[in-house]
């Protein structure tokens, strides 16, 4: 068997076409376009690239982005204050704080300074709780993108065994919540899991979200399983792609899979935040 590709590039392009129309409509009604503020701390080159990609994608759909770049040495307090100001600024609809921030900064405190109504990247406790309770808040961008990709290919989730490898606050943990909300049976695996191979081998759906290139071996994949690779370390996935593709029914490539869906979800949620923000 050779897996079908879950094409994140094509699927995100279709999503972004819709976002572009929504932006145009918003702009006709409100005389301005939605604005996403991106906050980047320090000078990690990969983070700069990702934030630049997000800003470019905003421009392509007619949205505005406001880039805030802060010195690596700033304090938690300064970062929190900056984000609170963006939260209070009526000209800003959505806020993205690029993860990770330098180790001396309390990243959770910084995320919590984002007004949940502007949390288009789905990183706050409030958004997490809404995800967990299936209350339609803003999804974490990557988990939301993964769900949109699975839905675009009409992958059935109800009653399926999903194995999530990874439990980070903005990726592994929330993607498990979203799968659970869709009636999947969810197993979380992580760095202390014993017999990772055996868990993965029982999965109908594998979501790899650890950031360790090729940790998941192709031979572990159950024939016919759906493989979603959310790894992006050094632009390489967490799954041994070629070998996994021989067994899987569907698989995401890296690049061209989950990454572009993450950005499309972020922008779709930004237009939604702009609309919902003007309703009040
Ligand atoms: N608060 C926060 N939210 C995030 O969503 C977030 C973050 N922090 N920190 C870093 C990770 C990483 N991330 C990616 C987004 C798009 C691609 C992407 O589109 N990649 C292209 C390849 C891009 C290239 O050419 O290098 C692809 O997979 O096809 C990758 C990685 C979002 N993240």
Residue 75 among known ligand-binding residues: no
Residue 180 has which token pair?
């659970």
Atom number of ligand 1 nearest to Cα 99: 8
pLDDT of 1 higher than 80 = no
Residue 79 has which token pair?
């970062």
Ligand 1 neighbour 232 (Cβ under 6 A): yes
Residues 240, 267: contact at Cβ < 8 Å? Answer: no
pLDDT at 59: 97
Strands (E), 98-174: 161-165
User: What is the per-residue pLDDT across 7-61, written as a single tens digit (0 to 9) for each?
Assistant: 999 999 999 999 999 999 999 999 999 999 999 999 999 999 999 999 999 999 9
Residue reference for tokens 């081998």 = 201
- Residues noted as catalytic: 54, 98, 121
Residues 119, 102: contact at Cβ < 8 Å? Answer: no
Q: 225: which residues sit within 8 A by CB, 6+ positions away?
A: 203, 204, 205, 206, 247, 248, 249
Ligand 1 neighbour 52 (Cβ under 6 A): no
Query: Long-range pairs for 120-125 at CB < 8 Å and ≥24 separation?
Result: 120/36, 120/93, 120/94, 120/95, 120/96, 120/266, 120/269, 120/270, 120/272, 120/273, 121/94, 121/95, 121/96, 121/97, 121/170, 121/266, 121/269, 122/170, 122/174, 122/269, 123/97, 123/99, 123/169, 123/170
User: What is the per-residue pLDDT across 146-180, written as a single tens digit (0 to 9) for each?
Assistant: 999 999 999 999 999 999 999 999 999 999 999 99
Domains 31-117 and 141-259 share a fold: yes
Q: How far is the CA of 191 from the centre of ligand 1 (A)?
A: 22
pLDDT at 2: 92
3-state helix, strand, coil in the chain (%, to 5): 45, 15, 40
Residue 73 among known ligand-binding residues: no
Strands (E), the chain: 4-5, 35-41, 64-70, 94-97, 161-165, 185-189, 205-208, 226-229, 250-251
Atom number of ligand 1 nearest to Cα 258: 28
Indicate which residue's Cα is closest to atom 30 of ligand 1.
259
Ligand 1 neighbour 263 (Cβ under 6 A): yes
User: What is the per-residue pLDDT across 217-260, written as a single tens digit (0 to 9) for each?
Assistant: 999 999 999 999 999 988 899 999 999 999 999 999 999 999 99
Q: What is the CATH number of domain 141-259?
A: 3.40.50.720
* Sheet of 94-97, strand order: 64-70, 35-41, 94-97
Ligand 1 neighbour 142 (Cβ under 6 A): yes
**Among candidates 135, 216, 198, 127, which has minimal Cα distance to 161?**
198
Q: For the CA atoms of the chain, what is the radius of gyration? A: 19
Q: CA–CA separation, 254 vs 230, rounded Å?
A: 8
Q: CA–CA separation, 76 vs 62, rounded Å?
A: 33
- pLDDT category, 280, cuts 50, 70, 90? low
**Domain residue ranges of the chain, discontinuous segments joined by +:** 31-117, 141-259
Strand partners, 161: 185
User: What is the per-residue pLDDT across 176-202, written as a single tens digit (0 to 9) for each?
Assistant: 999 999 999 999 999 999 999 999 999
ipTM of the shown complex = 0.98
Q: What is the CATH number of domain 31-117?
A: 3.40.50.10860
pLDDT at 19: 98
Task: Kindly state the average pLDDT of the residues 114-133.
Answer: 97
**Among candidates 110, 91, 112, which has minimal Cα distance to 39?**
110
User: What is the per-residue pLDDT across 78-91, written as a single tens digit (0 to 9) for each?
Assistant: 999 999 999 999 99
Residue 136: exposed, middle, or buried by beta-carbon count in 10 A (0-12, 13-18, 19+)?
exposed
């Amino acid at each position: 068997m050779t897996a079908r590709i879950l094409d994140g590039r094509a699927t995100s392009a279709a999503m972004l076409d819709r976002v572009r129309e929504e932006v145009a409509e918003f702009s006709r009604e409100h005389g301005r376009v939605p604005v996403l503020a991106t906050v980047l701390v320090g000078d990690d080159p990969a983070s700069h690239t990702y934030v630049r990609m997000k800003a470019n994608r905003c421009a392509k759909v007619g949205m505005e982005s406001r880039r805030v770049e802060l010195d690596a040495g700033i304090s938690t307090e300064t970062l929190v204050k900056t984000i609170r100001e963006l939260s209070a600024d009526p000209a800003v609809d959505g806020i993205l704080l690029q993860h990770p921030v330098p180790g001396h900064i309390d990243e959770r405190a910084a995320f919590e300074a984002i007004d949940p109504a502007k949390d288009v990247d789905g990183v706050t406790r409030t958004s997490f709780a809404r995800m967990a309770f299936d209350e339609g808040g803003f999804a974490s961008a990557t988990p939301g993108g993964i769900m949109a990709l699975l839905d675009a290919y009409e992958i059935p989730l109800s009653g399926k065994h999903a194995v999530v490898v990874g439990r980070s606050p903005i990726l592994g943990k929330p993607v498990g919540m979203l799968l659970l909300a869709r009636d999947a049976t969810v197993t979380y695996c992580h760095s202390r899991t014993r017999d990772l191979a055996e868990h993965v081998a029982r999965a109908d759906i594998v979501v790899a979200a650890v950031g360790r290139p090729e940790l998941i071996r192709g031979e572990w994949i159950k024939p016919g399983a759906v493989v979603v690779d959310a790894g992006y370390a050094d632009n390489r996935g967490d799954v041994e792609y070629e070998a996994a593709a021989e067994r899987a029914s569907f698989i995401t490539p890296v690049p061209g899979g989950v990454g572009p869906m993450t950005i499309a979800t972020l922008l779709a949620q930004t237009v939604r935040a702009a609309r919902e923000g003007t309703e009040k």
